[in-house]
Amino acid sequence: MKTETRNNILQIIKKRGGVRPNDLKKELGITPQAIHRHLRSMVAASEIEVIGRGPKTLYYIAGNPRLDKVLNWSASNDRPAGDPGESNCETRDVFTARLSHLSSLTKTGLKEEDLSLVISVAGEIGNNCFDHNLGNWRDVPGCWFEFQVTAGRLWICIADRGQGVFRSLRRVDPSIPDDQSALITAFEKTLSGRAPENRGNGLKFVRNIIVVGEKRGVACRSGAGIVDYGSLGQECRSVLAVHPHPPIGTVTLILWSMI
């Protein structure tokens, strides 16, 4: 029974991304005391981790990112209410300034030789948000940019509420049939939505940096399409897949092991 309850708790947390003890009590129908015993045991075993205090306490799968806010912001059909604050980069200058904050990661375990690669990959993804969406924002301009370190792994999420990869590339190549084909083209072929400029290698560069490393991954979702690359790409995909896909716009998740 004890193992079954713990498995049920894990499945609920995996499904929701983060839960409160009271949510588990209601769903599993067991006492608060029993819930807290299981949670303490699972935290001690490094199966889950706890964020926050008191009524705002949330439990997550250990090592997984906490991306509910950005993914819900990205997927909302209506203009998101409020301001996401420090995660929102309305202009390229703001994004560039916040990108420099990645330099602090060397103090938390990121290798010096990896720092420039991480900044280059994140910078390329973020700059694409501006390069391909000027004048084509759905509502909120710019991009959402945040990074988290958990269990020795760096997660970077960059999302925009722009026109999406399919609409951008189809202006150049009308034969591209759908979101999935557009994403594959963006990451694997030299074709840019900014023709006639001689561009189109940016996401190919990102893919090459990711796949050359042993513990790196990236997944990108735009409309109904999703692709992943690298040894940790499937893990990134699984995180994105549990949330509704954005009607248009793009969300990219990067995972980089620091150990």
Which residues have C-beta within 8 Å of that of residue 203, sequence separation ≥ 6?
124, 125, 128, 186, 187, 220
Whether residue 177 is predicted with pLDDT greater than 80 in this model: the reply is: yes
> Could you tell me what percent of the chain has a pLDDT over 70?
93
Given this model, what pLDDT does residue 197 score?
A: 45
The whole-number average pLDDT for the span 172-195 is 84
Across 103-124, average pLDDT: 95
Residue partners of 99: CB distance under 8 A and separation at least 6: 119, 122, 123, 126, 145
Least confident of 22-26, 73-77, 244-248: 244-248
pLDDT band for position 161 (50/70/90)? very high
pLDDT at 227 > cutoff 90: yes
Nearest to 210, CA basis, from 134, 114, 83, 137: 114
So what's the pLDDT on residue 135?
84
What is the reported pLDDT for 179? 94
- Domains in the chain (CATH in brackets) are 2-61 (1.10.10.10), 68-257 (3.30.565.10)
Condensed to tens digits (0 to 9), the pLDDT of residues 72-85 reads 888 888 888 665 66
**Rounded mean pLDDT of 130-151?**
90
Q: What is the pLDDT of residues 82-102, one digit of tens each?
A: 656 678 899 999 999 999 999
* Distance separating alpha carbons of residues 140 and 245, to the nearest angstrom: 17
- 8 A C-beta contact, residue 254 and residue 209: no
pLDDT of 203 higher than 70 = yes
Cα–Cα–Cα angle for 45, 66, 202, rounded to 5 degrees:
120
Q: Residue 225: helix, strand or coil by DSSP?
A: strand
pLDDT for residue 217: 98
**pTM for the full model?**
0.81
Average pLDDT, the chain: 88
